[in-house]
Every structure is written in structure tokens, then in C-alpha cells.
Structure 1
Amino acid sequence: MPKWSELKRFCDRDGWEMYKNTDHYYYRKRDSQGIRQTKVSRGSKQIKDHLWREILKKQLKVSQEYFNNTI
């Protein structure tokens, strides 16, 4: 499972816009799929498996392979 820092790196490299920087990083991306949003913790730990699957499927809407190739 990736760490929160890897999710942030993915968002930065994949063209996501950081629109809010508070206790978390808030990102959004506008494209042909509409507006996708995600929230990235400032923590350094690994993202738990069940949460990671939800982030990939419902927020990022990309495959694990695409994510791995982008980070």
C-alpha cells in the first residue's frame, strides 16, 4: 500500500490542483470525467488497504497500474 506522501506526489504529477492547504491537502481535477476530488493526510504512514481501495475507485478513478506508473 502507498504512503500518504506517495498519494500527494501522484496528485502533483498527474495535474491535480491543490485548492486547500490546511491540516490536510485538498486536491481536485477537472477533466472529461467531471470533477474528481481527494483529501491527502499530512501523515507519513501507509494508507490502510480498505481505505486505499476506496480512494482509487471513488476519488482518483484510476487503476493501481496507472497510479504506480505516475508516482
Structure 2
Amino acid sequence: MPSWKDLKRFCENDGWELYKDTDHYYYPKFMPDGTIKRTKVSKGTGEIKGHLWQTILKKQLQVTQEYFNSKI
């Protein structure tokens, strides 16, 4: 499973823009068709557990595991 640091690195490498840095990092990504993807990244350490990771990957990032791996 990826860590929170992996998710932050993915956002930075994939063109997501940090817009808020509080207890979490908040990132939007503006897509060419006008839609906006959004995710937040915990400042905690450790892995993102199974079900939560699948939700982030499919609903927030909207990418495959392979694409994610290629950007970290």
C-alpha cells in the first residue's frame, strides 16, 4: 500500500496544485475539459489502508494504480 508521502509526491509530480496547508495538504487539479479533481493528503505517517486507498485512487485521483506508480 502507498504511504501518505507517496500520495503527496504523486500530486506534486502529476501537476496538482497545493492550495491549502493546514492539518492536511489540499490539492486540486484542473482538467482540460473544465472539471476539477480534488484530494487531501494527511500529514501523518504510514500507509493508506486498503479500502481508503481504493476510494482515493478511483474517486479522487481517477487514475489506475499503474499510472500512480509511474508518477511516484
TM tier, shorter chain?
A: over 0.9
TM-score (norm 1): 0.97
Give every structure 1 segment of 4 or more consecutive aligned residues whose post-TM-superposition deviation is greater than 4 Å. Answer: none
Greater Cα shift, 27-36 or 44-53: 27-36
> Taking every aligned residue pair, what percent have the same amino acid on both sides?
63
Q: Which has the higher strand share?
A: 1
TM-score, scaled to structure 2: 0.95
Moved more, 7-16 or 33-42: 33-42
Aligned pairs, how many? 71
CA root-mean-square deviation: 0.8
Equivalents in 2 of 1:28, 1:2: separation in Å? Answer: 20
Q: Deviations over 1:44-67 (max 9, x none)?
A: 110010000000000000000000
Unaligned runs of 5+ in 2: none
One-letter amino acid matched to 1:64: Q
